[in-house]
Amino acid sequence: MPLYRVTKDRLEPVKQTSFIEERLLERKDLQRLLKADISVISDDMMVIAEEFGDWEESNRRIDLLCLDKQARLVVVEIKRTEDGGHMELQAIRYAAMVSSMTLDQAIAAYARMLATADAEVAARREILEFLELDSAEEAELTDEVRIVLVSADFSTELTTSVIWLNRHGIDLTCVRLKPYRMGDELLIDAAQIIPLPEAADYEIKVRAQAQEIKKVRTARQEIFRRFWAQYIDRSRGKTALYSNRSTSSDHWISAGIGRSGFGLNASLTEDRARVECYISMGKESDQRNKAAFRALHDRKSEIEQAFGGPLDWQELPNRIGCRICADLPGGWKTPEQDWADLQDRMLNAMVRLEAALKAPVQALRV
């Protein structure tokens, strides 16, 4: 659908253009810009490699290789064409090639991209920070590689293939980048078209159910899966934060607050539940993270009054991010018959935290 500029008397259509007409190239322009800010596509990913091709007997390269919060690799393929070509077939081949990668190999790939004197140490620290882990021994990559296709548009042939692949357990997303020209400015409309955002929750649930049949879960993972499923169900009617979320087998579940780099997380340990706003605006953002944290801390009294109680302000000087949180009694060892009470308390705290922080976060100039 076209974009419109609001004028005094009418809605004025903004001229649609093309990447070819605007002389924007795939690698030099689109890939470079998405590497700099992958949140345009998804706010739960970090880029760990560009033009990745660490395999024998092949000169093929993945445009962007990413990692998501569930410790899954994400293959991102980019085209500037109006039909996407045959990028889904290419991406499936790449996903198969990286499916056996280990976390150590992912860290090594990221270190090569950083290319700094302390790249290996920095890569390990940043990836563990992104995954919210204290050590690499706590996690391993799964073989469930996600695929994200980015193009100016997609043919019916391609979208039909993608929908079919999604129904058969392949996690494939199509993001359309449509350029518009408004005077001297070039605008990009970024929209996820498969799965449709309003249908994403249903499609994710169907795919997750199919995967769970094939996958043996540990007892703790099963506890987390059931707990978060109930938590999401209980959130309905209380908050829209989890309206497009499926359950998780991790110890945490996330939501957005409307600004990249600021995540609302609910988490569990054995005997503690926590709701938090975690500030992490990507690699080399330590100063921006700290500046944002301190600007919010300057409004501590106002924010805590809106929240309805004290918050724990953790600048985390030895880590990349910062945290504003509230801890609650209860954790994953809480008897299941008492989960409803714990979930309600967590949701109540999360709703209050979002209400207290949303406007101050949006007002930040960092």
* Mean pLDDT in residue range 72-87: 88
| % of the chain with per-residue pLDDT over 70 | 92
pLDDT above 80 (res 206)? no
- Alpha carbon 38 to its chain centroid, in Å, reads 9
pTM: 0.58
List domains and CATH numbers for the chain: 11-101+141-199 (3.40.1350.10), 216-363 (3.30.1460)
For the ranges 75-89, 205-219, 262-276, the lowest mean pLDDT is seen at 205-219
Please name the residue that has the structure tokens 């106002």: 302
Q: ∠ at Cα 284 (280, 289), nearest 5°? A: 35
Cα-Cα end-to-end distance for the chain:
33
Residues 313 and 340 sit within 8 Å (Cβ to Cβ): no
Backbone angles phi, psi at 237, to 5 degrees: 90, -15
The more confidently predicted of residues 82 and 145 is 145
* Mean pLDDT in residue range 61-73: 92
For the ranges 151-155, 195-199, 258-262, 287-291, the lowest mean pLDDT is seen at 195-199
* Mean pLDDT in residue range 249-261: 91
The more confidently predicted of residues 205 and 90 is 90
Q: Where does residue 64 fall: left (phi above 0), alpha (psi -120 to 50 degrees), or beta otherwise?
A: beta
> Residue 124 corresponds to which tokens in the numbers above?
């390990």
> Residue 196 corresponds to which tokens in the numbers above?
């449709």
pLDDT above 50 (res 325)? yes
* Mean pLDDT in residue range 74-82: 90
Q: Residue type at 292?
A: A
pLDDT above 70 (res 210)? no
Backbone angles phi, psi at 274, to 5 degrees: -145, 140
Measured between alpha carbons, how far is 221 from 176 in angstroms, rounded to an integer?
Answer: 34
> Residue 251 corresponds to which tokens in the numbers above?
């110890």
pLDDT above 60 (res 17)? yes
Q: What is the pLDDT of residues 158-201, one digit of tens each?
A: 999 998 888 888 889 999 999 999 888 898 888 888 887 555 55
